[in-house]
Structure 1
Amino acid sequence: MERALEARFSDLVNHPKDTVAKINASRSRHLWLRRRDDEDLVLTTAARAEQENEVVSATTALFTAMMRQDGAALSLLIDVVPEAFPWVRFLPTEDVRAFVVELVETLRATEAIDNPAPVAQVIESWKHTAEAYADPEVHASLTTDATDHGPATEPPSNV
């Protein structure tokens, strides 16, 4: 996938027509606006944003329908998910299945609220789980019964 062309946010403010015209020069129809004091922005056309939303919706609908209709589709998705998310190799088999089911269900649910943040959260959470499984020391510390040392004491006052 082609990376979006870049411009400074100040270019958009000072030369809006020239800066917006760069969108047409990009095959991706995106312009990455770099900002010094805040998060970068991506500028695109409304038509392109609608097309991207349509692609995500169609893909989600296909995956959801396949999983509902055929248990073999779920098995196939579980088999191929390591190609898209290599870190799932550190998860136990039952957790790979749980990740796939949660991911597809969350994809479907986020369409109703038009917000992809929950999908990103599912992926990030499962990736952190895989990281814990990948490190034997971390995994052991999280799965070993800990001794309760009682209530924490107040930290000393530095006044």
Structure 2
Amino acid sequence: MRRPELAEEVLQESFIAIWNHSNEYQNSMSAPMTWMTTIVRNKSFDLLRRAGEEVDLDAGDFDQRVMAGARDMGANPADAFELSSEARALAACLAVLEEKQRDVIGLAFFHDLSHGDVARRLALPVGTVKTWIRRGLVRLHACLTGGRTA
């Protein structure tokens, strides 16, 4: 986070989010630590953007233990996928989305909620949720394909 006060704020926001959304955790989707790490990572990106800091997603900044885990031949398939280049590319592209787009896409795809469920959970109209998901997916596609269209 580059500054201790930002790290403290991210930690506090993350603990609150984990506590408030613990009932949404699905162990069939990911390990608990993976789920919590994703929350902390997303909160970090959000706070860096709000603070006007540059968000750098270079693999060199990954924790050395995480990178060592990527090379671990004993890692289970889910762990190997999580650390794959595709997963890192997806994480990088998700990080550049607006927070509202990332939230609705995360709820819809990572938590397997319908558009109606996402709308109810976020107290938004279903049409708004659908629009944010569609626009977010278009941006993700452009990011992941380098702007190439199918």
Using the size of structure 2 for normalisation, the TM-score is: 0.28
Normalized per residue, which structure has more helix? 2
Q: Which has the higher contact order (CA 8 A, sep 6+)?
A: 2
Larger radius of gyration: 1
